[in-house]
Structure 1
Amino acid sequence: MPRIKKSSRNMTSIEPFQDNRTIGLFHTICKIIYLTCATNFWFEDMDYPAKCMKIYNATSRVVEVIVAVLIISDCGAFWTQPNLTEKQSNDRILLAFANGVSCLAYANVFYYKREIRELVMTLAVRLKKVCNDGTIEIMMLRTTFRYLSALFLVCSSAVFSYGMGSGIQALTTNATFTTVIPSWPDVEDRRVIAGAARIVHYIVWWIFMVRVTSVYSLILTCTIGIAHQFKNLCKYFEDLENIFKGSGSQEEKERKYENAFKVGIKMHSINLWCTRQTQLTGGLVFSGQIIVNVCVLGLLMIQMMYTERNLIAMMPIIFMALAILVGTGVFLWVAGDVTIEASLLPAAMFHSGWHNCTRQSSLRVRKLVTIAIAQAQKPVLIKGLGFIELSYESYVTIVKSSYSLFSVIY
């Protein structure tokens, strides 16, 4: 088991135990986040040279300001860019809205940095100390890799497609290289300095999307970790019956079972706390994805009505739609997994072997099991916008609502 000790800067340090791969997963993700936005969500100091970290932290703050200027510039374009085509006007609304919502969710995660550190510590260390089934952990690692790969792929493809589409149009027609539409320069400004500014805007947009996606990946990984921890807990309760198959007197087995069941109840309580913390720290991320899904998909369908039916023109729309659908999907699917895995816990408690207890021990254990099952039967839900239960069914409903919105407008 890991021994927890204090590190510098009042942060917690651990000596990881050998079979815990979850620590490596979260540590890697936190290192990636630090490299993208110079913020440490890990509960230890990052193992980079102090001088390099100091320089990088200062540089990152400057980049943060530049990114904020880009977001403000997107909004300012509604007043400074009146002469736009139908597609450019739609792009201005779509990207300004999507970037604005993503920026708010990004800032919200940073606001709860301390809570996220504690959440990561709990998922990677505290819960794993008691029960860490190797097979379930490998399933979690594979699920995380699959979902994060999909998230990074579709998000980068969307930004790349906008750049490639605008670049091809700039080379083959008389159009300017325009991706994100800022307050300045004007879309018809053909000066060298204006062209350089557009390229800078595109690079800053890339930086912004990389930062947002990396932070989103931590919330997504925490949610996946909670779902698999409920699966771990089910396995823990199911294995308690093996206590009565071992050696020792009946009294010793009953005492051991009762103590182990109480440990399981505590683990369940910690799991519920992790779910509440994920709702608190990632609630705006979940809500933002729902809002962006409904509004941006509606705008993309409107944009398709005014776009030429050729590969170059349709590519940004297709990749943006895929990014929204997959981005929303992975969050809602893993949140739904939490609900599904938690719903299996009462049955696992019931089949934990309580019927093997006798006399006074049986009376105490039955009361304990009854209360634990009653608590576990309460649905464990992660919600978006405060009232939408995130699940596979709600994902289908949200996607359909985008088309419904489009049908009402047109």
Structure 2
Amino acid sequence: MKYKPKFSNSSTRYFQRLTQFVYIVTATNFWYRDVKLPNRFVKIYNCVSKFLEAIIIAFVITGFGASYTQKNLTHKQSTDILLKSISGFFGYTMYGFINYNKEEIKELLFSLTVSLKEICNVKIEKQMMMKIKMYMAGLMIVGCCPMAAYGVEGAFHTLTSNATFTTVIPIWPDLEDRRLVAGFARILIYIVWLLLFAHAMAVYSLIICISICLGYQFANLYEYFLDLNNIFDGEDNHEDQEKKYEEAIKVGIKMHNIILRCVNQLQSSCKVVYGGQILINVCVMVLLMVQMMQTDRSLVQLAPIVFMATGILVTSGLFIWSAGDITFEAERLPTAMFHSGWHNCRRQSYVRVRKLITFAMIQAQHVVVIKGLGVIELSYDSYIAIVKSSYSVFSIIY
């Protein structure tokens, strides 16, 4: 057998490090145990984080007000205020909702890293970790590039055209205010914007990793049921083989129920996140296309737009693809149950096992799907439709 009970695995250690990273960024512990950091640091950081959260919330709330306090804005600058205010509002709302449901996330992580490790396929585990690391590398690269590009653009204009360093147009100071305190305030605003972005990236990392892990739990269970047929290839007494098979089937059904419960927990705790990401994708892509029409075709001005568009498309893709994989893997499970070897049982054992398999297959044939905005089924096809809808809205406006 390729399965090891309570296997101390790399995914458990990875999620522990991931939640520790999320805590350092957001001061919220999503792990079901205390964070492994010095107690003095945790106490001080919890106090400091409250002050930082208040600043970030004030930044998000006042973002839309810049349109009224700033005068003589260009069309691109007006669009830029709307773009960053919308993305910041949705991004922090998503974090706030996840923070509100952190106990449910903790329970979900406990199920993924403890309860579902009663059976663990080492090969599937390695494939899952490889995919998680690949997705996280892509997320970090495409996520950090837009922030760096906006910072470089602001510094470039400051050095070449004597403009003020402006990455996010704030409610204060005025764009033409050249006092030292105004310059210092703009740098602080850029740092606060980076903190807000870090909150969003932390939420993205956590939810995408959980979605990937859930998809591979179905893949793990698929291999588990197929492998049960090998029980009857041994030299044991046939009655002993039947008992072993029957117990293994019960374990598989129990694991399937736990996975389905985890999917429901993911849907309920992250429904705002999935819906918010769809809205961010459509709204931001439309505004970026508008900006593309309004801006000069210079490399410095195009780079932030291109990087932001790439970041939004890739981030939405990682969200939707990982959720769609759950549906794909779940659909394969009834086939594995049918080919698990139940036909090798005889007499009363055959009757009992057939009832178990029938019940399990009926349950597994129910479509498992993650939805955004309550109606959009997240899959590879829906991702294409969402991307196309952004251009459709833009084409109607222009």
Q: TM-score range by the shorter chain?
A: over 0.9
| 2:243 is the counterpart of 1:226 | no
Match of 2:24 among 26, 29, 35: 35
Structure 1 window deviating more from structure 2 (81-90 vs 347-356): it is 81-90
Match of 1:89 among 58, 78, 103: 78
| 2:88 is the counterpart of 1:99 | yes
Partner in structure 1 of residue 120 of structure 2: 132
Uncovered stretches (5+) of structure 1, i.e. residues with no partner = 1-15
Q: Which runs of 4+ in 1 moved over 3 A?
A: 16-19
Match of 1:257 among 242, 245, 251: 245
Partner in structure 2 of residue 8 of structure 1: none
Superposition map of 1:19-168 within 5 A: 19-128=8-117, 130-168=118-156
Superposition map of 1:9-408 within 5 A: 19-128=8-117, 130-408=118-396
CA contact (8 A) 2:6 2:119 kept: no
**SS across alignment from 1:344:** helix
Once the two structures are superposed, residues 15-58 of structure 1 have per-residue CA deviations (whole angstroms, 9 ceiling, x without a partner) of x9664111101001011011112111111112222112101111
**SS across alignment from 2:114:** helix
**SS across alignment from 1:381:** coil
Once the two structures are superposed, residues 282-336 of structure 1 have per-residue CA deviations (whole angstroms, 9 ceiling, x without a partner) of 2111111110111110111111111100100101100100110011000000011
**SS across alignment from 2:30:** coil
CA contact (8 A) 2:6 2:114 kept: no
Work out the CA distance in 2 between the residues paired with 1:46 and 1:93: 37
AA paired with 2:334?
A: P
AA paired with 1:124?
A: T
Work out the CA distance in 1 between the residues paired with 2:382 and 2:332: 20
Structure 1 residue 239: Cα displacement: 0.9
Work out the CA distance in 2 between the residues paired with 1:257 and 1:371: 16
CA contact (8 A) 2:20 2:36 kept: no
Work out the CA distance in 1 between the residues paired with 2:132 and 2:271: 19
Work out the CA distance in 1 between the residues paired with 2:33 and 2:280: 34
Once the two structures are superposed, residues 112-138 of structure 1 have per-residue CA deviations (whole angstroms, 9 ceiling, x without a partner) of 01111111111011101x211111111
Structure 1 window deviating more from structure 2 (145-154 vs 221-230): it is 145-154
User: Normalized against structure 2, the TM-score is what?
Assistant: 0.97
CA contact (8 A) 2:92 2:199 kept: no
CA contact (8 A) 2:330 2:368 kept: yes
Structure 1 residue 352: Cα displacement: 0.2
AA paired with 1:246?
A: G
**SS across alignment from 2:33:** coil
